[in-house]
Structure 1
Amino acid sequence: MKLTDFNALPESKARHALFACCGSPAWTRRVAAARPYSSDAELFAAAERALAELSEAEIDHALDGHPRIGERRDADQVSAREQAAVTVAGDDVKRAIAEGNRDYEARFGQVYLVAASGRSPEELLADLRHRLDNDPATERKVLRSELAKINRIRLGQLIEGEK
């Protein structure tokens, strides 16, 4: 849809569209409530501000909508498209990613979140292994940054002309 169409949506429909970008109800409310946007850049900036203002509990809500890297959820076409490269990885890389996901979740108590679009399985595995060395506070900052990237990509796909 075009930005003008998004701006004209009823509040509930705008929030529904935004929920496909980020699973935080507070984020969808904030971004929808700040309409109308005069440009795509203004929308993206508002989305980043809204994310930065989220509580840790709201970040956890957003994480609920993301499968593990390499895991497929039948109803989640967006994540499947973003992680498409992992499906063609070799068995050794797939096993290493699955093991890394388990180690990450045991260490940090959350799903490993990364903006996977356009990245190879080997890059994702290297990133996962690197992030396992982070302390919890640093990792939470990295996770927020990755969530912002994912939200930006998805908003770009929502608004016509941005990919």
Structure 2
Amino acid sequence: MTSSSTPGLARFNTLAGGGATAALHEVCASAAWVSIILSRRPYPTVEALLSASDAAMAELSGEDLAEAMAGHPPIGRPKPGDPASSREQRGMAGASEELRDEMLELNLAYQKRFGHVFLICATGATGEQMRDAVKARIENSPEQERGHVRTELGRINRIRLSRLVEEEKD
């Protein structure tokens, strides 16, 4: 992503409150994150918007993180009718039945251990890479895992925000 302004960024900067709120909720389900991003508009560059997203993510409380995570479906089960989760989890689309079953078991074990879905920036990752990540991270302490979740949410938000300000609207 370049650090220059784009027509999509200009559109985002001038989007009316309700439209901007709805667009940002598609990026991240945390109301606090959405509020922070909206409060800092207008953004001079895409990089400034992405940096604001990183800063907002760092400010989120545990409750805010839980709210953000609740907007993400388990790996291997994208939300029906949600093109973002389907696109992001494309690496599982062609996975074998064996790998899908293994991911379901791992997702359930992870959720039982940590109380929330396994969250990873799945864009560009294969099903095997996602499986290996959940296997490695399930051994983390809750504190370590919160750090991973915050990082992964930040990566996801950056990708989604970039897509939001790149899209041309008619």
Q: TM-score under structure 2 normalisation?
A: 0.92
The amino acid that maps onto 1:89 is: A
Select which of 92, 98, 120 maps to 1:86.
92
The answer as to 2:135 corresponding to 1:129 is: yes
The ranges of structure 1 where at least 4 consecutive aligned residues each deviate by more than 6 angstroms after the TM superposition are none
Q: CA deviation at 1:114?
A: 0.3
Unaligned runs of 5+ in 2: 1-6
Q: Secondary structure at the match of 2:74?
A: coil
Partner of 1:13: 19
Partner of 1:95: 101
Q: Map 1:12-91 to 2 at 5 A.
A: 12-91=18-97
Q: Distance in 1 between matches of 2:45 and 2:105?
A: 43
Q: Distance in 1 between matches of 2:58 and 2:49?
A: 14
Q: Distance in 2 between matches of 1:17 and 1:73?
A: 17
Q: Secondary structure at the match of 2:27?
A: coil
The amino acid that maps onto 1:109 is: G
Q: How many residues align?
A: 161
Q: Distance in 2 between matches of 1:73 and 1:5?
A: 27
RMSD: 1.1
Q: Distance in 2 between matches of 1:11 and 1:35?
A: 11
Q: Distance in 1 between matches of 2:19 and 2:78?
A: 27
Select which of 109, 113, 116 maps to 1:107.
113
Q: CA deviation at 1:12?
A: 2.0
Q: Distance in 1 between matches of 2:23 and 2:60?
A: 19
Cα pair 1:11 1:33 within 8 Å, conserved: no
